Amino acid sequence: MAGDPGTNSGPEADTGPEAGVGPAMDVAFFASWIEEAARAVSTDRERLTALDAAIGDADHGSNLDRGFTAVAHALGTADPATPGALLTLVGTTLIRKVGGASGPLYGTFFREAGRALGDDAQVSLARLHAALEAGLAGVRALGSAAEGDKTMVDALAPAVRALEEAVRDDGEPSDRADRAKVAGAIGAAASAARAGAGATIPLQAHKGRASYLGPRSVGHEDPGAASTALILAALHAVATR
């Protein structure tokens, strides 16, 4: 996959007319996000599977790990030129390689986000928000899930709102000093996702296999919400480099 997103943003790069611009969310940035997400899923594979064992098929961690391994191979082979093309390829690969509900749901999220970015070479915070919002809309449409149903939407929807609020309150970063704004805005989204995932524990599931358990689904964190929080934490990790 593409290299470190910080390659052109260090002090040694302050020589041209673009010196002073904020951190570039370009194809390298998004490739690093997916690499970081793959590492996070691999590290937490057993925890995600254990969460799924309590209320599902006990395969969420292993399925996602397999999917992101396939994504790494696909990106290394295809070398997409834009963030939109990269995320679209990620989504298509997950749909093809991941079984159960996870593949279609995560695949739809990334594909819709990629389509929303179009052919832009670099992405602003506002465009990132629009892409994640499009991904959320795709997930909602496919799974017919709303917040409170104990699904990945319970982590993803608060994250999208938090990013929207950060962009509205702080505006777009305009120079290198605003690198903290980028990290802060994405960090707010990641924190909201973590809180949303934790908030699924007392909920009764109304969608997916977990809904068959009725009240017995209460007391367990939703594995899809947990993996969503991991993936957005990976985005924040890349933004802080």
| Beta bridge pairs of residue 25 | 123
Average pLDDT, the chain: 87
Two structure tokens written together for 193: 């996702």
pTM of the model: 0.86
Two structure tokens written together for 51: 């969460």
Does 102 reside within a domain? Answer: yes
Query: Strand, helix or coil at 16?
Result: coil
Does 190 reside within a domain? Answer: yes
Does 202 reside within a domain? Answer: yes
Query: Strand, helix or coil at 198?
Result: helix
Does 219 reside within a domain? Answer: yes
Does 11 reside within a domain? Answer: no
Burial (Cβ within 10 Å: 0-12, 13-18, ≥19) of residue 144: exposed
* Bigger pLDDT: 204 vs 178: 204
Give CA–CA dist 57/66, Å, rounded: 16
Does 161 reside within a domain? Answer: yes
Q: Whose structure tokens read 């290394």?
A: 76
- The DSSP code sequence of 65-100 is HHHHHHHHHHHHHH--SSHHHHHHHHHHHHHHH--T
Within 10 Å of residue 43's Cβ, how many Cβ atoms? 12
For 97-131, how does the pLDDT look when each residue is reduced to its tens digit (9 = 90+)? 997 888 999 999 999 999 999 999 999 999 999 99
Kindly state the average pLDDT of the residues 130-147.
96
Kindly state the average pLDDT of the residues 37-42.
97
Asked if 185 and 156 touch (Cβ cutoff 8 Å), the reply is no
Give CA–CA dist 211/135, Å, rounded: 23
Does 10 reside within a domain? Answer: no
For 167-196, how does the pLDDT look when each residue is reduced to its tens digit (9 = 90+)? 887 665 554 447 788 999 999 999 999 999
Tell which residue, 106, 105, 128, has the closest CA to residue 29: 128
Does 6 reside within a domain? Answer: no
First vs last C-alpha separation in the chain: 17
Inform me whether the pLDDT recorded for 19 exceeds 80: no
Query: How far is the CA of 119 from the CAs of 1, 14, 123, 221, 224, in angstroms?
Result: 19, 27, 10, 37, 29
Inform me whether the pLDDT recorded for 12 exceeds 70: no
Number of domains in the chain: 1
- The CATH number assigned to the domain holding 104 equals 1.25.40.340
Question: Domain range holding 95?
Answer: 24-239
pLDDT recorded at residue 241: 86
Tell which residue, 96, 68, 32, has the closest CA to residue 60: 68
Give CA–CA dist 154/4, Å, rounded: 31
